[in-house]
Every structure is written in C-alpha cells, then in structure tokens.
Structure 1
Amino acid sequence: MPVQPSSAETAFSLAALWHALGWPLLRLLMGMAAGLLIANVLEALRWTRHLARLAAPLARVAHLREVAGASFSLAFVSPAAANSLLSDSHNLGELSGKELMLANLFNSLPAYMVHTPTIFLLTWPVLGMPAVVYVGLTLMAAIGRTAFTVVLARRILPPPPPGCIACKADSDERTDWNAALRKAWKRFTRRLPKLVYFTAPIYVLMYLMQQFGYFALAEQWLSQHMSWLSFLKPQAMGIIVLHLAAELGAALGAAGSVLQTGGLSARDVVLALMVGNILSTPMRGIRHQLPSYSGFFRPALALRLILANQGLRAASMTVVTIIYYYASA
C-alpha cells in the first residue's frame, strides 16, 4: 500500500512552494515595485496641483483667511510648503492660534491626496479590489475631516476680509520632465530595497504561520485576552501588529499572504488594515509628523497641532470603519 505524503510534505514540496509562495511573492514584489515607480513619477510631476482651484470657494465657506486658502492649495503640491506658509503667517501675527489650528486641520484632505497615488499603487498589486475599498474609506475619512473643519471654522470664526486666496499657489513655470524623472528614479531606488526587505520576509513568515497552525493558537488567545477585538479573525492580528511596528508595506505583505491563502476574506483584510491604521496613529504622529512640524513651529505648538490633527484623524477613521463594518456585514 503506497505511503501518502503528509500535509506538511505536500505543502512544502517544490511545486507547492512555487505555486503557493514563490510565484505570488514574485508577482507581489513586481507589482509593488511598478506601483512605487509610477507613484514617484506622479508626485515628481506635481500633477495634483490642478486640484488647487478647489481652495477659493471652500475657504470662503469656512471663513478662513487668505493665507489659509493659499496653504490649502499648496498642500496639494507640498504639505511641508503649506506648513511653512502657515508658520510664517502665525509668526507675523496674521493668524491667531485658533486660526492656525483650524487651518492645519483644513489641510487634511490635500495632505492626504498628495500620498493617495502612492497608497493606491502599493495596495492594488497586493490586494486587488480590497485596495479600492481601503483607499476609498481612508479618502472618505479625509474628506470628512476637512468637511468637519469647514463647519467648525464657519461657526467660530468671523468672515475674513476679501482677497486673493489661490493666487499664491498658481504657477506658470513649465514642468521639467527630465528633472522630474530623475527625482522620481532617485526616490524609487532609495525606497525599493526597504520595500523588498520588509515585504519578502513578512510574506514568507505569514505563509509559514498559516501552514503550521499558529493562527489556530492565536484564535484561542484572542478569545481569552482580546475580547475588544473579537470582531476580527486571528489572522488579522498579524496585520495589525505589523501596522503598529512597521510601515504600511509590511502590513500589506501580511495582508496579501493571508488573502492569497484564504485565511482572510476581502472584508476581513480591509477591517484589519483600517484598525491597524487607527491604532498606529499615535506612533505615526511621533515618528513622522513631530520632526517635520518642529521645523516650522515651536515644539509645544507643534505637539498641540499634531495631537489635534491625529486625534481628528483617528476619530474620522473610527467612524468610517464602524460604518463599513455594519454596512458590509
């Protein structure tokens, strides 16, 4: 009677490894690399600046001053330039502390839009249609933050004197394609190794954990100690932990792995990424925003701006996640 191979032997045969691990991982890395390159080109060419025309009517509705409208327009091109403009105006006494806080929150949508191509082109090769849902939800949250700020500012600020709002963001300079492409390639070559170093080991690790049944053990632990996240499947915990400990690329590698192996559904993956995004908000603010904000504002003021910005961000993401959880059930 022939001896049947064990499930482990079947799972780790060369053919099985190539079809279940090697080829999906290679396709994942190729797609992420292509997406990263395209996103860098789009950012280098500054094609998001055409959205700056939205600033004038929206700023008038919000009762924000001319400089806040110009900052909103500049944030579509460079959030750092927008913060620099707000800082200069605040130091000159043109913006009060309250107006500065509201102007900074007002920039939530354009600051997010600058990075939307990168986020989408990194998530799409990994997740497919769930990437559309995830990016759509985060975009909805960004729109909600700016809309909330508009309503809040209109209620507490008097109408500003009339003036030119979008003029500071207008530019007649022609796009230097050669310079933009060189800049995009330089960014690409600098970020690609980090992307590969994080993604490949994480993908392999998640595959091994799936094969050896560690998620079954995690399910038992989750039921005993993580009741507040019991609406998530145990496979989602790895995605959340990686979102907390590393960049989005690492969490995407884990999400792509469990999605390919059937450990999580598309809805589960989206929820895991959203929860990881929310829980990583404090670390993101300290790690990414505090150094850059401290370059434009006094440390205490920078910290207050970050707390308000990230607090509103977490709240908006939570609301959107709850809506998606019940709407997709």
Structure 2
Amino acid sequence: MAPRTRRSTRRTKSNHGLHDEEMDNYEHQINQEATGTQPRIVKELQPQISQTAIIFGVSSLPWLVKPLYGFISDSFPLFGYRRRSYLVISGLLGALSWSLMATLVDSKYDVAFCILLGSLSVAFSDVVVDSMVVERARGESQSMSGSLQSLCWGSSAFGSIISSYFSGSLVGAYGVRFVFGLTALLPLITSAVAVLVREEPVLGLVTVQNLSPYSSNFLESSKNTITQLWTAVKQPNVGDAVLLKSLFNSRKAVAKGWVRSVDPNHDVGGKRLGLNWCEVQVSVPIEWEEDLIRPYSNLSTIGDAIGACIAWPRHLVTDDDDD
C-alpha cells in the first residue's frame, strides 16, 4: 500500500506541475496579447511610482490657482469678450494637448507637459463657466440658482459616466492613441459652443501696452479687481453675527445682529431686498437714534428695530469679532 501511495502522490505532484506550467503559459500568452494591444507610448514609458506621482502632481497645479483665472478673465477681455474668448482658447488648448498625446508624445516629460496643458484647459474653462452661472443666477431666486448649479454638476457627472463606460472598450479595441485623438474632439466642441454664448461685448481690445504691469490701465484694473475680491470675501453669510455700520461713517457701528437672508428677491418690509443688501435681525442697538436706511411700518430708527428684520447694505455689514 505504501508504494502505491507514493506513486499516487508522485502522480498528483506531476499533475499539479503540469497544471501550474499550463497556467503560467496561459498567463504569459495573455500578457503578450495585452502588450500587443498597447501602443508604443505605454510600452516605452513604463514610469516608476515616484515619476507617476510627479506627473499627477503636475496635473493638479492649475487647479491650485483658480482665482487667478477669474482675475485674468475679468481684467483683460480678449477680442471684446470676457467669457467667450477664454472659453474658445481653453477648448483649443485642450484639443492641442490631447492631439499631442495621440501623435507625438513618446517620453515621460512630454506626457507631464501635455497633461499640464489639458489640466490648465479644464481648470480655466471651469472658472469661466462658474462665473457665467453666477451672472445668470444673479437676481434670480434661490431655487433657480440651485437648478443652474444642479444642471452643471449633473452634466459633469453624466459626462464622467459616459467616458468611464466607453473608454475601456475603446482602448481595448483601437488603442490608447486613438482614444486620445477622439478625446481631442471634445474640447473643440467646447470652443464651437462658446461662440454661441450670449455676452455683451466690452469696448476695446487687449493690447500689449494694456497688459504691461506698468501701464495705468493694468494697475487700475488690478486694483478694482482685488478690491472686488476682498469685498466678496468679506461678505457675510446667513446666520453670521454681524455689526451694522453707519451710512455716514463706515467706521462707526450702530447695531449688532444676525444675517437672515441675502436673497435679492426676499421681501423685507414689503419691498424686495435687492442686490448687495442683507436682511439683518437687530439684536443689540448701539446708536439708538441712528436712522434706518430703508424704514418701514413704524420702524424708523435702530432703537425701533430691536428684534425686527431690516435691510442694510452689504458693504456696511461686517463680521462681529466679539461673537
């Protein structure tokens, strides 16, 4: 019985050896077939983990300076437009980056450069589209503003799902370079659609002299833009504890309160709140006899408005550091 057991064991090991060898051959064949479908860019590059991390890090750089793009598009209109021109340029830049990936790229540095261009294109166009959404939503109700944002995010999610679904099958069937070339068409669609954007033209074109950091136009435009950005950052939010400043002396606080609404269509004292105004509930009067800027009903002074909601200009509403 013992010899039979040894032969059986030896036969089993031999079968396992054949099975393992067959599996190795099969796996090798699969790898060869898969490698054969990969384009030259993948077979030649083979970046290390650290190099891959650097490439992805470079791709994220344009997203770190997004406020700069808003500053540029607001301060320097191209060909008479602040939004349309930059959308067209962003689309062309994205198409260029993907076209290079599909044709000429054959080194890790080229890949990093092209990815940087593509990321810059997406980040700049993202800022421009967000500014367009803000302009369209200005003066609209909160529900309409929310619908615009939902449309933007929904469209982005839909595009991500479609690209994720088809990219794998297209790469397997046609190769990576074909997919890169196909992707280059999408930014061109953005450029084409940007021409249809309704925008009021701005008088004058950007010249080299205007772009000079020493020109008066550049300094004045930069100063105005920075002031607007700082004012926007300082704007109160609903629920914030704030100080109300006097209309005649912006350094003098006249009351403390809480921001209840910044919706331009909100009704305060039978009147629409309007742009650049806040609805504030007065909690602590400081200057009791200070006249209300927009009195209503039997409320005419700060002292009369204790516990009531009043309209106050946003630039005269600041954070209450004590709270």
- State the TM-score, normalizing by the size of structure 2: 0.22
Which structure shows the bigger proportion of residues in strand conformation? 2
- State the TM-score, normalizing by the size of structure 1: 0.22
Q: Which one has more relative contact order, counting CA pairs under 8 Å at least 6 apart?
A: 1
